[in-house]
Amino acid sequence: MITAIDHGLVRELRLNHPPANALTPALIAELRRSVEEAPRDAQALVLSGSPGMFSAGLDVPVLLNIDRPAMAEMWLGFYALLESLARSPIPIAAAITGHAPAGGTVIVLFCDWRVMAQGDWKVGLNEVQVGLTLPPVVFQAFRRQVGLRESSRAVRGLLCSAAEAERIGLVEELASPEHVVERALEWCQSILALPRQAMLATRAQARADLIGLFSESLDREVDGIVEMWWSPGVQSALRTFAEKLKKKK
């Protein structure tokens, strides 16, 4: 479900789980392993998706069919992935190749830099729209990226266009769809051209607050998410959402 492509010192990890690169427990685990193993023989990473679809976020239809212990394990695995991204000893650029709502956006928040394909793609945190409270770790990462004022978008569960994402600082740059991965690779190469020790030490300072989100156990936070997931209102909204996805297929 992950295609690894080496571009010299930069490794591209391309999500390869058609049709929407939706995040299942298996994909989350494989991406985490790939991120953690990359520094053995790569000096920077690019996370990418398929044309028009970076990731549709958590695979709701799959998750609606697992029990509470499995749901808790999935969320702990997802947080472990986010922590691996935050703690990565090498820079990570996100090449957002298309739509990246909800969990797709969450992943890129924990990268160093983000470039998104120009076009009619949507990105953002829409969890409130289906009755889910945005988890604190995710909200803090979002506010860190877009600032206090723009973080209110999460309260309304708003998605935004690529152009709007650049305007509010959710992504740093836009590129044509055919060049979005190339631009992410260029950014990585520009970072690697800097004096390595100084770059890595300064990067560690810049990301200390992001790493700090994982300084304490998140078990209680996960327990709250799991409890919320099984509330009648959320279950109803999620099943309606899953039915809409089924009809689109």
DSSP string, 16-76: --TTTT-B-HHHHHHHHHHHHHGGGT-SEEEEE-BTEES---B-HHHHTTS-HHHHHHHHH
Determine, yes or no, domain membership for 94.
yes
Distance CA 79, CA 206 (A): 20
Whole-prediction pTM: 0.94
Report the percentage of the chain scoring pLDDT > 70. Answer: 100
pLDDT tens for each residue of 76-134: 999 999 999 999 999 999 999 999 999 999 999 999 999 999 999 999 999 888 888 89
Distance CA 128, CA 161 (A): 18
**Cis omega (within 30 of 0) for bond into 51:** no
pLDDT at 158 exceeding the cut of 90: no
Determine, yes or no, domain membership for 208.
no
**Cis omega (within 30 of 0) for bond into 232:** no
- Rounded to 10 degrees, what is the CA torsion of 158, 159, 163, 169? 70
Q: What letter does residue 9 receive in the DSSP assignment?
A: T
| Tally of domains within the chain | 1
Per-residue confidence band for 243, with pLDDT thresholds at 50, 70 and 90: confident
Determine, yes or no, domain membership for 203.
no
Could you tell me the residue range of the domain that residue 6 belongs to? Answer: 2-196
Determine, yes or no, domain membership for 23.
yes
The pLDDT score that the predictor gives to residue 249 is 61
Determine, yes or no, domain membership for 229.
no
Determine, yes or no, domain membership for 243.
no
| Strand pairing class (113-117; 92-96) | parallel
Are the CB atoms for 106 and 141 separated by under 8 Å? yes
What's the gap between Cα 193 and its chain centre? 26
Are the CB atoms for 64 and 130 separated by under 8 Å? no
Please compute Rg for the chain using Cα positions.
17
Per-residue confidence band for 169, with pLDDT thresholds at 50, 70 and 90: very high
| CATH code of the domain covering residue 71 | 3.90.226.10
Determine, yes or no, domain membership for 121.
yes
Return the HEC string of 101-167: ECHHHHHHHCCCEEEEECCCCEEECCHHHHCCCCCHHHHHHHHHHHHHHHCCHHHHCCEEEHHHHHH
Determine, yes or no, domain membership for 103.
yes
CB-hemisphere CA count at 13 Å for 222? 18
